[in-house]
Structures are given as structure tokens and as C-alpha cells.
Structure 1
């Protein structure tokens, strides 16, 4: 289980925004950018800043992926 920011990277690629520009535009730290790059959790504040800066909804930049193992039915 985990979050994927693949949609974020697709959106930035489409808009021709590199990671450094994204960091500066959003006002996030290098640490947060690194966590995003590794599909690790980040604060809701960081996600809100991303949405505000990119003028998008949360589901346009993040996806929750379920793993099938250990799934209770």
C-alpha cells in the first residue's frame, strides 16, 4: 500500500516544469521534494501548496495504490 505521485510528475512534465522550478514555485523544501520523488508521505500542507500552485485537485497529483497481499475479504 502506498501513495504514488506519478500523476504529479506527469502533470509537471506536461506543463514543462522541472523539479527545481516546482520546488521554488510551491515553496517546499528539498526534503519534501525528495520525499515526493520517492513516493513517501508528505504533509497535507505541502499537498495543498502543490494544488494551489498548479491550480489542480488533489486527485490530479496523488494516487493511493492498494496491494493485494494481506487483503481481508
Structure 2
């Protein structure tokens, strides 16, 4: 099973935000952004911060893909 954050990247485009904006507004680190870009797991705390910043639910930013 693979984690896909494609929904997050699409949401950022819709909100006219870039990754740096997300990093600053959600108070996450560059390492978290790198893990997201590599489709690696991140902590629930980080996902919560992203959801809170974007006013969305976790299903709006990620999904599991069966390989």
C-alpha cells in the first residue's frame, strides 16, 4: 500500500499556495514537506497542522493506493 498526497498538492493549487506558504502557515518543517513529496508517512500531528491550516479533513489531503 502506498500513501498518495496528490490531493494535497491539488488543494494547494486551488488555494493558490506553494509549498513554502504551507510550511510557514502550518508550522511544519522542510523535512515533513520532503517526506510528503516522497510519499512517505508523516506524523498525525503534522497532518493535523496541515488540515487545520487548509480548513479541511485528512481525506481531503491524502489517500492510500493499493499497489
Pairwise same-fold verdict (TM > 0.5): yes
Larger radius of gyration, structure 1 or 2? 1
Gaps of 5+ in 1: 68-73
Q: Higher helix fraction: Structure 1 or Structure 2?
A: 2
Runs of at least 4 residues off by over 4 Å? none
Give RMSD over aligned pairs.
Answer: 0.5
Structure 1 length as normaliser, TM-score?
A: 0.89
Structure 2 length as normaliser, TM-score?
A: 0.97
Gaps of 5+ in 2: none
For 2:64, the equivalent position in structure 1 comes to 64
